[in-house]
Structure 1
Amino acid sequence: MRCVVHILNLVVQDGIKKVDKLVEIIRWAVKWIRQSPSRISKFTKFAKLVNPSTTKHLVRDVPTRWNSTYRMLNIAQAYEKTFERYNLKEYEFRSDIEKAGLSIPSPSDWQHIRHLCHFLKPFCDVPERISGTLYLTSNTCIEDIYSILTLLDDVISDASLCDIALAMRVKFDKYFDDVEKINLLLYFSLILDPRNKVKYLVILLEDRYRKEKMEEKKKYIMDSMYKLYNDYIRIHSPSTTSSTTVSSNSSSILGKRQNPDATTPKPPLRNKLRENMKTNIVESIGELEKYLKESVEEDSSTFNILDWWKVNSKRFPNLSLMAKDLFGIPVSTVASESVFSTSRRVLDPYRSSLTPKIVESIICTQDWLRGGISDNIDF
């Protein structure tokens, strides 16, 4: 399973390259202001005069993480008037930015940045949602991928964002252009959500491929799902266990009698085992068909998909095992990777004098605060 968040990061990075000049100006200005407390204090003073309603602090970005670039641009654009005042009043700032061959964005540039932030917001919301760890993500991932595709198609017609959207679409198509390129387990998870089933799958496929190719794509997905489910039947079906037990017991008894002609069960017994297995498989396939034919559940804020499968596991014993495995698939590695990148966010080039003990204390305290630690812990 590829990390969907990582792929979306690559997609947006290709689009951001089309506005490198504007991003570089904002990045330079934010970095310059945040380099000393006195500069931050002066910027805050100007902000209270011309942007009194804005209280967010300027943030630097990590160029390899586009969502941090989005946050940097989104906060900076709210301080358009403050940057203009700062540029007029602070000679050192104006001198350094000219030496760097840059200039403060014009009003049209700020408008373009605002338009860009509005377009990029879903690319920040989706990764944040699918990288969560306290709820299911595999059953909604396909819907998120298709929503991003629809957004790109709509923006391509926008003259101001056309180049950005086209560059992003090329990268997007590399990973998500067709059903065959997407991990089919994500489609299976979508179907095993009782609020969706095949009905919602058809809606997504029709919107993406139109009616001409929809049936072909649907058949490919459903055939693959039945194949996977047949494996669950083979592994978890009671008949498989009973036949294996009977065969081993028969072989053991015959071995004790040392009968060389009776290495397999007698034909009547073998036929009976085959009939039992065939009956069980038919019942199991009927279990999947029964689930698909039932009406979809109403979507509401109180609906809990895990509780639904827990309650209905007796009706769908094999299908519930398959659902349990599919819903447990993480579609993002952000949660695990963030564990190993926490220290880098604390110990950056501007705080490099911190000792290892202080860094450890900061990270540990941050973890306690986020975990809601109680007040009665002894330090």
Structure 2
Amino acid sequence: MDNPTDNHEILNADGQPNKRRRKKSIVWEHFTVQTVSAGCTKAYCKQCNRSFAYITGSKLAGTSHLKRHIALGICPESRRNQEKNQLALYSPESRTNGTGPPKKRNKVSSGSANIPIDQDRCIHEMAKMIILHEYPLNVVENSGFINFVQALQPQFNMVSSNTIQGDCVALYLREKQSLWNLISGIPGRVSLTLDLWTSDQTLGYVVLTGHFVDSDYKLNRRILNVVMVPCPDSDNALNLAVGSGLSDWGLESKLFTFTLDESVSNETVMGNLRGLLSVRNPLILNGQLVIGNCFARVISRLVQDALGAMSHTIKKVRDSVKYVVTSESHEEKFLELRQQLQVPSTSSLFIDDQRKWDTTYHMLVAACELKEVFTCLDTSDPSYKESPSMDEWGQMETLCTYLKLFHDSANILVSTAYPTANAFFHEVCKIQLELTHAAISEDPLASSLTRPLLEKFDKYWRDCCLVLAIAVVMDPRFKMKLVEFSFSKIYGEGGEAWTKMVDDAVHELFLEYITLTLPEATTFEEVVGNDNDNKTETETETEMPEPDGASLLSSADGFSDFDVYISEISSPLQTRSELDQYLEESLLPRSEDLDVLNWWKVNKYKYPYLSKMACDILSIPVSTVAPDSVFDPVSKKIDSYHSSLKPVTLEALVCTKDWLQYSATEFSNTDVKMGF
């Protein structure tokens, strides 16, 4: 058979050639076509000469099977050529002659190399990469990065740092618009956490984070603003930052409460914030729901105090662990002795990261479980001389008992994506009760260790127990019963006064919600729980109809005037029974996997007012730090590069990184406006 030639004639239904324009598919770089017989045209691979069906009669086979032959490496000649090119790429001789620069690699003809590049999409993805991984903006001007990108895709035109900064800000604005739409549509209120980040330039950055329940009854946490404050120690610094954030997002009428840490608060700051809250929302318990101390930071300070009290013994344990794990021979002797002593522990030794107190706790636990091996290690390894005494091991075990209490409580902030406020009352009660008992213990070590801790924690307990107790009342598994039980254990007979304080606050807050919500609840359907989504405007008309028979038929069902009547005669006293009904009903079986917010979603028609109040309360944050900083003993610090950026650029980078965790942003090359 003759060698195939490049024939671009297509046969028509009669088997006659029909001239077409030259084929543009990249597959024809690798194939030719030839008419074999009347009504039969085949495609031939230029490299291996294999034939493929192309046209049979009036049927066109297409090019998909031809592409697979090349792209999947089915063609043996194509595969061999690619392997040769790859070997040549890594061959020193092919790269350089020994003195000159590396030779350019010959372009390999393949399908992917001819796919047109989407320059805008690539820049968009690069901006996301820089934001998500906190790369400096000038990484795009780094020679190593430029060479790497050019090797991947020579067609890509690298952009400047100013250009990529503009794309990062554009991405920020698009994401901000999406978040604006989400917050604008929520049925409830927004609580704010205020955290203060530091820098080497003595500038402060107030980070405002919003916590709210969306229309699907899911708890959300979003960084809203990063506000640079030149004088972070000023009493007005937080106030100005909060005012700026509220104005930026239009949250003046949606603000519920604040949570901040005592390191950035004092009586003046708290007074200013409570005053701001009372001006915006004068009926929300007169600002009593403001939390002036971050739960994670309180726990971290207690842990640091406990670790500091036993720092000498902890160092001996750390040095012992370091002795074992940093030498293979030492570790082998340790494992041999462990096997001989048949120590049942499955823990592995590791050196802690002293910037994360949970790693110190885990290191001490693992070492204590292997204390018998450490105690006998000097017999098989005479060079080991740092073994703690049995009394010191006992001190470490006592310390770990209380560290576990703190660790388990703080771990709620890490193990749960968005813990609702009801999860913390029981944890705080446990800490208060355990420290109280330990402080008066006959064990001198336990009492001396915990007495200073109790003094510090007791302040947090008294400041925050009301908010946390109100939150747990909104949990249908506990309601007021857990409050009564916990206060009786902590205060004995005096617990009744504490219980009454919580009960009074819950009822007062509920009455305030009725006062705030009643003007909006203009139809009887919303009170009893019917769905008005499908009703017409006439059906929900709230104007009083004319007192004649014809007007009663002006709406679809004739009940709109009855709805107005019910709305007008409904008083706070009558609606108040909604809370009492909830409290009097039986508790739900205690289940750890209960989604409390979803329970309120299911029961929102049964408790229309109470469900709104519950969502706002359950979304109150108890911690100001992000989950990845829960175990950090110090506040977050902005590095020198990011603190050198313009405040608006830094805010865009920090906020967008947070927002991108919750949304799969689709690429868009539409213009984004600054206004909202």
Counterpart of 2:459 (choices 174, 189, 197) is 174
Offset at residue 317 of structure 1 (A): 0.8
Contact kept? 2:435, 2:454, Cα under 8 Å: yes
Judged with a 3 Å threshold, the aligned counterparts in structure 2 of structure 1 residues 335 and 34 are, in CA distance, closer, same or farther, namely: farther
Give the CA deviation at 1:118: 3.3
RMSD: 3.3
Query: Which residue does the alignment assign to 2:482?
Result: 200
What's the CA shift string for 1:302-348, capped at 9, x where partnerless? 7553443233211101111122222233434565334998xxxxxxx
Structure 2 equivalent of residue 189 of structure 1? 471
Contact 1:233 1:281 in 2 (8 A): yes
Q: Which has the larger radius of gyration?
A: 2
Which one of the candidate residues 86, 94, 107 is aligned to 2:390? 107
Map of 1:125 onto structure 2: 408
User: Is 1:224 aligned with 2:505?
Assistant: yes
Secondary structure of the equivalent of 2:335?
Answer: helix
- What's the secondary structure of 1:182's corresponding residue? helix
| 2:447 aligned with 1:162 | yes
| 1:237 maps to amino acid | L
* Equivalent position amino acid for 1:160 in 2: L
**Whole-Å separation in 2 of the counterparts to 1:7 and 1:339:** 10
Matched, 1:48 2:339: yes
Q: 1:11 aligns with which of 294, 297, 302?
A: 302
In the TM superposition, residue 11 of structure 1 has moved relative to its aligned partner by 1.6
Paired amino acid for 2:435:
L
With over 3 angstroms needed to count, the CA separation of the structure-2 counterparts of 1:302 and 1:85, relative to structure 1, is: closer
Contact 1:131 1:334 in 2 (8 A): no
Partners of 2:341 and 2:499 in 1: CA distance: 56
Which is further off, 311-320 or 111-120?
A: 111-120
Identity across aligned pairs (percent)?
A: 29
Aligned equivalent of 2:364: 73
Q: 1:293 aligns with which of 573, 581, 584?
A: 584
1:136 is displaced (CA, Å) by 4.2
> Structure 2 unaligned runs (5+)?
1-258, 260-292, 524-541, 544-563, 633-676
Partner of 1:24: 315
Q: Is the 8 A contact 2:514 2:572 kept in 1?
A: yes
Taking the aligned partners of 1:55 and 1:199, their CA distance within structure 2 comes to: 40
Which of 584, 600, 603 is 1:309 aligned to?
600
Contact 2:352 2:363 in 1 (8 A): yes
Structure ranking higher in helix proportion: 1
Q: How many residues align?
A: 301
Code of the residue aligned with 1:230 in structure 2: it is L
3-state SS in 2 of match to 1:193 = coil
Question: If each structure's strand is expressed as a fraction of its own residues, which one has the higher value?
Answer: 2
Partner Cα distance (1:104, 1:340) in 2:
28
Unaligned ranges ≥5, structure 1: 95-102, 243-248, 251-272, 342-379
In structure 1, distance between residues paired with 2:376 and 2:520: 79
RCO higher in 1 or 2 (8 Å CA, sep ≥ 6)?
A: 1
Q: 1:161 Cα shift?
A: 1.4
Displacement of 1:93: 4.3
**Contact conserved, 1:15 with 1:167, CA < 8 A, in 2?**
no
Identify if the C-alpha distance between structure 1 residues 132 and 321 changes in structure 2 by more than 3 Å, giving closer, same or farther: farther
* Distance 1:234-1:299 versus aligned 2 partners, 3 A rule: same
Shift of 1:187: 1.5
Conserved 8 A contact 2:296-2:631: no
Match of 1:145 in 2: 428
Q: In structure 2, which of residues 575, 582, 588 is the aligned counterpart of residue 284 of structure 1? A: 575
Q: Work out whether residues 131 and 333 of structure 1, in 8 Å CA contact, stay in contact via their aligned partners in 2.
A: no
Q: Which residue of 2 aligns with 1:374?
A: none
Question: Normalising by structure 1, what TM-score?
Answer: 0.68
Distance in 2 (CA, whole Å) between partners of 1:55 and 1:201 is 39
Residues 137-159 of structure 1: CA distance to partner in whole angstroms, max 9, x if unpaired? 42131111111121112223123
Shift of 1:219: 3.5
Residue type at the aligned position of 1:290 = Q
CA contact (8 A) 1:33 1:39 kept: yes
1:87 aligns with 2:378: yes
| Higher alpha-carbon deviation: 20-29 or 328-337 | 328-337
Structure 2 contact 438–446 (Cα < 8 Å) conserved: yes
SS in 2 for 1:139: helix
Relative distance call for 1:17 and 1:85 in structure 2 (3 A) is: same
Change (3 A) 1:276 1:78: closer
Q: TM-score, normalised by structure 2?
A: 0.40
State the alpha-carbon separation in 2 of the partners of residues 85 and 209 from structure 1: 47
